[in-house]
Amino acid sequence: MSDHSAVGVIRAKRDGAALTDDAIRWFIAAYTAGEVADEQASALLMAIVFRGLDPRELATWTDAMIRSGERLDLSPVPFPTVDKHSTGGVGDKISLPLCPLVAACGAAVPQLSGRGLGHTGGTLDKLESIAGFRVGLSGPEFIAQLSDIGAVICSAGADLAPADRKLYSLRDVTGTVESIPLIASSIMSKKIAEGTDALVLDVKVGDGAFMREIGMARELARTMVGLGTAHGVRTTALITDMETPLGRTAGNALEVRESLEVLAGGGPPDVVGLTVALAAEMLDLAGIDADPAAALADGRAMDRWRRMVRAQGGDPDAPLPVAPLVEEVRADRAGVVTAIAAMPVGMAAWRLGAGRARKEDPVSPGAGVVLRVASGDTVTAGQVLAELHADDGAHMEAGRAAFGGAVTLGDTAPAASGRVLERIVPA
């Protein structure tokens, strides 16, 4: 019989006390086992939103979430292991070219990804637009593919940080998502349980990101780097700009197509630049001296992509799905593109059918937005600014309304800026 009670733990945090390590471990274990009710866990989460967790509490909370399931053993993999996690944004297809690129340079990337919700796309949804691609792999399949090809992108098994899976679904419906300790522990418990040697975090900030302010993004990045380092995972973070969509596409098959352009040595400069920057960071942490830009240019990354797709049941040569309806958005005046706001583009892609409102909703593989201009471009009246792709008229109408004034025209070109804003390393 435990000395702890759910009500006692909730009251302690409600009143501003620091929870003991024992109380935290008991609560997480009891909730995972179904011995603590959802409403009690919700109450504690809300208390944490208001009262926070100090560094010791957060370290113990994260460790308890990791210990709620199994920690993968990647020791059979004959390469250094390194992963990347992005906090999500509009047009963020970076994992698709990045994983095979880093693998082509000699590391193994065990990427356990998720599905999209709302305006942020999910990596698994994008990959499932490839005919036959399988995101559910068994443990032995995962290790075998990682050892052979060095790149895997698949869904996490049910045994990986199950406490996080339960808490995450609660946070979504109880208004307790916006808490840096809860966000950091959710992300890092899964990534540490994944068993990787090293981890690079891509923390997005701006209009299309979860974090709108640079100060909050910096705090989240530092918190996660600290958690990773404390658990023996070499961890760094890049804070990257998400004021404008990444690349020219938002939508599942549309983003796969753009990723293939990058792997073929082309693609939008911002996608290429961020892919190479993250690859360089990952290879540095893995202790590998290699030039990722060269591996993109000479086709090695594309070769590795094709092997990864085939290994997971996909056909790398199959045509990607195309939505039957395409509508053009045209400029109402001549001018210079001064801004392309990420959030309306992401919302439009979602409403066109590329995203989902609930986890169980289906997504359209062909739906989404294709931008035909970039910030700083000079346009004429009537020029096509974007294409909206949808499966039916209702989705097209919703997407059109959401896209609205995503593209702003003015008379003076904005100052050019890069995607990488800051680099965060262990303190």
Catalytic residue among 119, 126, 190, 231: 190
CA distances in angstroms from 25 to 19, 66, 126, 167, 289, listed in the order given: 10, 11, 37, 14, 41
| 155 catalytic residue (yes or no) | no
Distance of CA 201 to the CA centre of its chain: 10
Catalytic residue among 84, 119, 126, 171: 171
Give the helix/strand (H/E) hosting 281: helix 269-285
Q: Using only C-alpha atoms, what is the Rg of the chain?
A: 22
| 25 catalytic residue (yes or no) | no
Catalytic residue among 4, 13, 85, 389: 85
| 364 catalytic residue (yes or no) | no
On whether the CB atoms of residues 395 and 367 are closer than 8 A, the answer is yes
Strand partners, 202: 86, 238
On whether the CB atoms of residues 125 and 252 are closer than 8 A, the answer is yes
Catalytic residue among 42, 68, 179, 186: 186
| 147 catalytic residue (yes or no) | no
Of 120, 384, 154, nearest in space to 255 by CA:
120
Catalytic residue among 63, 92, 164, 241: 164
> Is the backbone of residue 96 left (phi > 0), alpha (psi -120 to 50) or beta?
alpha
Of 194, 184, 204, nearest in space to 90 by CA:
204
**CA torsion angle for 95, 98, 104, 109 (degrees, to 10)?**
-50
| 171 catalytic residue (yes or no) | yes
Q: Which residues carry out catalysis? A: 85, 164, 171, 186, 190
